[in-house]
Structure 1
Amino acid sequence: MKFRSDINGLRAIAVIAVVLFHFNASWMPGGFAGVDVFFVISGFLMTGIIFRGIEQESFSILKFYVARANRIIPALAVLCSVLLVFGWFYLSLIDYKALGIHVGSSIGFLSNIIYWRESGYFDTASQGKWLLHTWSLSVEWQFYIIYPLILVASRKIMSVNMMKKMILLGTILGFMLCVIVTYQWPSSSYYMLHTRAWEMMLGGVAYLYPWNLEDKKKKLLEWVGLALILSSYIFISKESFWPGYLAMLPVLGTFIIIQAQRNDSLITNNIIAQNLGAWSYSIYLWHWPLVVAIYYYSLSEVFIYLGLTLSIFLGFLSHKYIEKVKFRDNFVNISDHFKAKPVYMVLFIGALGSITFVNNGFDSRFSGDEQLKSKNAMAAIGDWGYPSPNFEVDNYKIRLIRGSSDKNILFIGSSHIEHTYPYVKALGSEYNVYYLTMGGCFVSPSFFNPKWSCENIQNYKEIIKKIGFDKIVTSIYFLDGYLSGTEKDRSDQIDSRTLEYNDFLHFAKNNSHKVFMILGEPQGSAFAPQLSIRNSLNDFITLKEARESYKTHYDALNKLNEVNGVVVIDPIDYLCDEVCMTMDSNFNYYYKDSNHMRPWYAEKALGYLDGIFK
């Protein structure tokens, strides 16, 4: 294939967006869409390689795999090695253990699955994961494995023209699947191959169905494509459902620019775009660990600019001294393919990462108390005692604790209602206790969670009327969650939610005998096991700090006229004295993160709920 300077320049447009977004999201709110640009380019190039080989009857799947491995693995292996050495000296025990599993999954191209299971791409916790960005490499590699197998098998039963039509149809169906999955199962849609494959396949369509246009139309087409890509960078943000139908903006824009075939374009064929495009893979690899370092060590804003410069410099060095190394790929016998050096890089680095994880980050490096504290922190993370739904009312998911009477209590709200479950379960009261919850949600209808629906609690009237409850227990905790826009916009959102919450209290009071409102529990970084270890934080926060974090809630409380007759429970009154402890004397953490209680602590500490069951 003739070198396409326009495609190389597109790589620059993609990597610039991703890097700017990661260093400061306000610079380019939708910069993460640069990854989608990369996917289309990759699909175009891979389809070209495969189809030329198939048409010439010279395509070798093993040779294709080796070529991809030679291209991708060496630079990634060097990055993983550097991080393992760095982590040995500078990372906390808990972070080094996490780095171990992330190194193993990244070099094995399974990191997209690992990160999907751990948390969302835009979560704050993600900024502490040194190899988070490798999820996209894993998606690409999974595509590289499956795509040629399907095409080679298809060639045995159909013509090349029919294969082209199959890819076109598969792209359309893949896009439809992506839209459905993004809105039905948003937590998995970002990371997984089945929602991204259509983007690479559309790149394949660009190769299989090239457009022959006049020069004037090519220039116009290039500008249209560029406008689509830039609009996605500017007008889309991390609050958007992604990829979904919005991904069509950067994907279609990239497709159009590829079809324009403008190798003489000043936009893509200039010295800056060509160099950044050539270095783009290595820039992408090195920029994210620098972003994490700034977050991890709470460095000042000046380090953002230093990080940007270093990303380009390290990308240049990696491209020149690692990517350009020529590894053998002209193997003849099948067994010879196992001599490919990148295979041993994967095995060696993967083994190091796995050993690091299995050995708890080599905890023998640390002293007794520090080792015990780190082990306890590892046990605390993810320690959650809220079971799957066991009951359904009109398609709404319920956790039901059956009592010995016909009296009912409803616990409704976000995850801060959920973490009361272990205590209530252990209490064994006579009441039938219904838990109607949705993490990251609030009962106010105007509240919007960009990741999933909050209907399970926002349609509270239907369930309350249908079941009939003696008592209703609610929480005001997530009143200020997912605010957006200017300071005034955020204030207006708080006001709207407060009014709607007032309506909820009015309805709850009129449809039950008693309503209880739980305010917020003590919270903060000191409670988060990982942050506590990483930053050597105190084992307490002051009572003043605990109160200050809920200023918005206390202000809203004064505006709720329906709070009259509601029993207000302030957990801080019960859980704190002069200070709020984050762990016991044996370094057992009370919380699993900055604001959610572990089951054993909930069972021990939530005696303030007893009055609800009398």
Structure 2
Amino acid sequence: MNFRYDINGLRAIAVIAVVIFHFDPSWLPGGFAGVDVFFVISGFLMTSIIFRGFEKSSFSLIKFYIARANRIIPALAMLCLTVVLAGWFLLFPEEYEALGKHAASSITFISNFVYWQEAGYFDAASHEKWLLHTWSLAVEWQFYLIYPLILLALKPLLGIDKLRHGVLVMTLALLIFSISTSALWPSASYYLLATRSWELLAGGLVFLYPVKLHKNAARVVAWTGILLIGLAYAIVDATYAWPGTWAIVPVLGTAMVIMAGVQNSWLTNNWLFQPLGRWSYSIYLWHWPLVVFGYRYDIAYWWVAGIILSVVFGFLSYRFIENIRWQRIESLTAVWRAKPVWIGALAMVAGLTIMTQQGLSGRFTPDMQSLLASMSPSPYREKCHIDEYDNPRDACEYENENVTWAVFGDSHSVELAYALAKRLDEQNEGIKHYTFSGCAPSLLQENGTSRCTRWYKEAVADIISDDRIDNVLINHRYSWTLFGDHIPDYPAVPADANPERTARILRSFDAAINKLASHKSQVVIMYPVPEIARTVPLLVASKDLFNESTDQVIGTSKAYYQKRNAVILKHLNSANYPDSVKVIRPGDTWCDEAKCYAVNGGKALYFDSNHPSVYGAQALISLMPQAWLDKPGSNTGAL
């Protein structure tokens, strides 16, 4: 096939969009659709290779696989090795262990499954995953493995002429499947081949159903295609179900540009886009770790250096890795001595070693190891904390069979439960653990109002009916409950856009407090825990990079804490609860007059940006007077 300047220009248009989106989504909210452009291009090229081979009776499945390995593995493996080496100096054990897993899954092309299971593509945690972008390479590789096998199986049944109709049917069927599943299972739909393959097959249809256009018509079609791609970049954003119906826009636009086949368009064939198109694979590989680096160390205006370095590293990778004249894999017998295979194997072994050795914690000083150990969540978090309905009667009980306390709330109560259980165990008592992720107070709501309304009501009823339980500790992430997650907004405070909803939640909260207090000797309310600017590991990493002291690390300002929690603080301070209701105020002990701390005395108070660590929870539970534990209800004071 002759070199296609239009396709090379499309690669540049795709990689520019992806890079801009990742460095600052506000500039190009739909820039992630550049990946969809890449998929269409790959589908066109792979289909052309396979069907040309069929027509000439020269297609070799082994050679097809080998060619793909020669193209993809060397640059990817070198990226993985470089990031793993940098991680030795930059990452803490838990982060390094995760990087090892991600490196091994990336080089074995299963990273899309790993990231699908871990989290969503657009969440905050994505900026802490150095190889997240390799999910798209995994999708492509899986397509390369399966697509020719399907065609080879259908070819004897349909013949070459009808085989293209089979590809058309598969494309339409998988498109319908993708649209229907994108809304129902957005994370799986985003990452997995089953919902992405129609995009690659759409590119194949351009080859299988060629359309001859006159020169002027071809230019109109090509420009229309570019406009459709630009429309997707500008209009869609992370809130759209993807790849759903809207994904048709960039896919159709890319298909139109390839179908038009205009080779001398100034938009795709120019002095800038042609080299960027040639370097696009390597630019794509290198840009995301640079994005993560800038995010990790919170570097101002990092996008300037980051975008420049993405292009520089992309060029160097293209010149010295993609195009290096090393031994290429030409046959199965040569696999064992081919450098791409050895480099890939080395990256896989390095990743697996780091993962199995739990991030090689011996790299750090004892003081740093102690600080890192204090960032841990409750060991019962995975077992006892729920994210979907489970009968409250079956809630966990620990550390002692003599249950006298219940801990009730959302995910911000998990570590408090563990810390309280440890303290109670010293006096031969235990707790029952009731926590539901993201569950707002909803005692007065009808079942079905939220995903946890039924559970919330049943949990309160179960606590009341359990005669063993005489004391209740209740806690929520109040700011999230009332206004939404703070991470995208920090340091701004979202306005109370729905005061009726806020009032309704507060009424339900008060109802739960009063109902529990009427049946139990003592109810302890945890006031809001400060939400800090960034996760504790990132705050500590920024200090450690410049050899600054990590004995005390500021998390946020006292003013932000008070402003962020103004509604709930005012409500709790003015509430007329029974005397048996006690309160604990984390802000009075974790903050001084101006600052709230993320690390104090060389110990982390959080394991992320808002959940108390086990150490932090123990510090909060230590604020409870022993009298509250020995003689419930006898002390009516408040901390």
TM-score (norm 2): 0.78
User: Greater CA deviation, 193-202 or 22-31?
Assistant: 193-202
Partner deviation per Cα, 1:459-512 (whole Å, 9 max, x = no partner): 789879999978995632313324789999942536465344345457768987
* Separation in structure 2 between the aligned mates of residue 122 and residue 486 of structure 1, nearest angstrom: 17
Counterpart of 2:451 in structure 1 is 456
Counterpart of 2:469 in structure 1 is none
Counterpart of 1:304 in structure 2 is 303
Partner deviation per Cα, 1:36-89 (whole Å, 9 max, x = no partner): 111111111111112222232221111111111111122222323333443444
Partner deviation per Cα, 1:261-302 (whole Å, 9 max, x = no partner): 33332221222222211111111122222222222333221x
Counterpart of 1:320 in structure 2 is 319
Could you tell me whether the CA contact under 8 Å between 2:376 and 2:614 is conserved in 1?
no
Partner deviation per Cα, 1:145-166 (whole Å, 9 max, x = no partner): 2222222223244333443333
Cα deviation, residue 17, structure 1: 0.6
How do 1:73-112 and structure 2 match up within 5 A?
73-92=73-92, 94-112=94-112
Counterpart of 1:370 in structure 2 is 368
Structure 1 residue corresponding to 2:536, chosen from 528, 533, 538: 528
**Partner SS for 1:120:** coil
User: Greater CA deviation, 237-246 or 47-56?
Assistant: 237-246
* Separation in structure 2 between the aligned mates of residue 397 and residue 232 of structure 1, nearest angstrom: 44
Counterpart of 1:448 in structure 2 is none
**Partner SS for 1:26:** coil
**Partner SS for 2:451:** helix
Question: Structure 2: which amino acid aligns with 1:387?
Answer: K
**Partner SS for 1:76:** helix
* Separation in structure 2 between the aligned mates of residue 485 and residue 219 of structure 1, nearest angstrom: 44
* Separation in structure 2 between the aligned mates of residue 381 and residue 402 of structure 1, nearest angstrom: 17
Counterpart of 1:416 in structure 2 is 412
Unpaired runs of 5+ residues, structure 2, are 443-447, 466-471, 634-639
User: Greater CA deviation, 560-569 or 237-246?
Assistant: 560-569
Unpaired runs of 5+ residues, structure 1, are 445-452
Structure 1 residue corresponding to 2:354, chosen from 353, 356, 364: 356
Could you tell me whether the CA contact under 8 Å between 1:384 and 1:598 is conserved in 2?
no
How do 1:13-52 and structure 2 match up within 5 A?
13-52=13-52
* Separation in structure 1 between the aligned mates of residue 169 and residue 464 of structure 2, nearest angstrom: 52
Could you tell me whether the CA contact under 8 Å between 2:39 and 2:200 is conserved in 1?
yes
Look at both structures and tell me which one has the larger radius of gyration over its CA atoms: 2
Alpha-carbon spacing, 1:384–1:472, altered in 2? closer, same or farther (3 Å): closer
- What is the count of residue pairs matched by the alignment? 597
Cα deviation, residue 357, structure 1: 3.6
**Partner SS for 1:455:** coil
Counterpart of 2:436 in structure 1 is 437
Alpha-carbon spacing, 1:118–1:11, altered in 2? closer, same or farther (3 Å): same
Question: Structure 2: which amino acid aligns with 1:457?
Answer: C
Counterpart of 1:295 in structure 2 is 295
Alpha-carbon spacing, 1:422–1:373, altered in 2? closer, same or farther (3 Å): closer
* Separation in structure 2 between the aligned mates of residue 382 and residue 206 of structure 1, nearest angstrom: 54
Cα deviation, residue 385, structure 1: 1.4
Counterpart of 2:376 in structure 1 is 380
Counterpart of 1:493 in structure 2 is 497
* Separation in structure 1 between the aligned mates of residue 90 and residue 475 of structure 2, nearest angstrom: 44
Cα deviation, residue 193, structure 1: 2.4
* Separation in structure 2 between the aligned mates of residue 380 and residue 487 of structure 1, nearest angstrom: 25
* Separation in structure 1 between the aligned mates of residue 98 and residue 385 of structure 2, nearest angstrom: 30
* Separation in structure 1 between the aligned mates of residue 364 and residue 430 of structure 2, nearest angstrom: 49
Could you tell me whether the CA contact under 8 Å between 1:29 and 1:237 is conserved in 2?
yes
Partner deviation per Cα, 1:169-228 (whole Å, 9 max, x = no partner): 332332333334433333433333233222212222222223344444433333332233
**Partner SS for 2:320:** helix
How do 1:540-551 and structure 2 match up within 5 A?
540=552, 545=557, 548-551=560-563
Counterpart of 1:594 in structure 2 is 609
Alpha-carbon spacing, 1:534–1:389, altered in 2? closer, same or farther (3 Å): closer
Cα deviation, residue 20, structure 1: 0.8
**Partner SS for 2:383:** coil
Structure 2 residue corresponding to 1:344, chosen from 342, 345, 361: 342
Counterpart of 2:333 in structure 1 is 335
Question: Structure 1: which amino acid aligns with 2:383?
Answer: P
* Separation in structure 2 between the aligned mates of residue 165 and residue 75 of structure 1, nearest angstrom: 36
* Separation in structure 1 between the aligned mates of residue 120 and residue 278 of structure 2, nearest angstrom: 30
* Separation in structure 2 between the aligned mates of residue 157 and residue 454 of structure 1, nearest angstrom: 53
* Separation in structure 2 between the aligned mates of residue 443 and residue 505 of structure 1, nearest angstrom: 5
Question: Structure 1: which amino acid aligns with 2:311?
Answer: I
Counterpart of 1:450 in structure 2 is none
* Separation in structure 1 between the aligned mates of residue 429 and residue 355 of structure 2, nearest angstrom: 46
User: Greater CA deviation, 101-110 or 458-467?
Assistant: 458-467
Counterpart of 1:449 in structure 2 is none
**2:392 maps to 1:401:** no
* Separation in structure 2 between the aligned mates of residue 74 and residue 49 of structure 1, nearest angstrom: 21
Counterpart of 2:445 in structure 1 is none
Could you tell me whether the CA contact under 8 Å between 1:33 and 1:250 is conserved in 2?
yes
Could you tell me whether the CA contact under 8 Å between 2:116 and 2:187 is conserved in 1?
yes
* Separation in structure 2 between the aligned mates of residue 311 and residue 432 of structure 1, nearest angstrom: 53
Counterpart of 2:231 in structure 1 is 231
Alpha-carbon spacing, 1:361–1:167, altered in 2? closer, same or farther (3 Å): same
* Separation in structure 2 between the aligned mates of residue 119 and residue 434 of structure 1, nearest angstrom: 25
Cα deviation, residue 308, structure 1: 1.6
Alpha-carbon spacing, 1:605–1:39, altered in 2? closer, same or farther (3 Å): same
Cα deviation, residue 135, structure 1: 1.9
**Partner SS for 1:82:** helix
Alignment identity in percent?
38
Cα deviation, residue 602, structure 1: 4.7
Question: Structure 2: which amino acid aligns with 1:152?
Answer: L
Counterpart of 1:163 in structure 2 is 163
Question: Structure 2: which amino acid aligns with 1:594?
Answer: S
Question: Structure 2: which amino acid aligns with 1:415?
Answer: S
How do 1:139-288 and structure 2 match up within 5 A?
139-288=139-288
Alpha-carbon spacing, 1:430–1:175, altered in 2? closer, same or farther (3 Å): farther
Could you tell me whether the CA contact under 8 Å between 1:526 and 1:541 is conserved in 2?
no
* Separation in structure 2 between the aligned mates of residue 554 and residue 489 of structure 1, nearest angstrom: 10
Could you tell me whether the CA contact under 8 Å between 1:30 and 1:232 is conserved in 2?
yes
